[in-house]
Structure 1
């Protein structure tokens, strides 16, 4: 599985949705709560070029926010990006 990092704020409903989708998929992630951490928030802004949360990175590459995460899931691309292997039945 690939390394997943997510920058969040404690009161953000989009952050909660994104984390829940990752949990449902069984993906472990490193969470950086920037609610009261201006240095970590600045780091997020420098890495992503964006000021909103969540900001999600997979293996150091910006995936985007909650909308992008769910869009990739709907198209079936998310599992591949996360490094999840399809289960074979047989």
Structure 2
């Protein structure tokens, strides 16, 4: 059995003054650690939180755009060099 750990680290009081805030931010750092390859540690930084907020905002905007039919689909066929087939 091989056990590995991905750890997210926060510092009190720099990253929060409540347990909830510190755990939330440590969790964000841990997921970044896993994304970078697991079996490592990562310190929380406010840029992690900003990126997560931007991602959530973009997802909400896409959902709204889909709901309100704000997207248009265009198909542009790709022809082979000889012009005989389409991919």
TM-score for both structures, normalised by structure 2: 0.28
Instruction: Tell me which of the two structures has the higher relative contact order, counting C-alpha pairs closer than 8 angstroms and 6 or more residues apart.
Output: 1
Between structures 1 and 2, the one with greater strand share: 1
TM-score for both structures, normalised by structure 1: 0.27
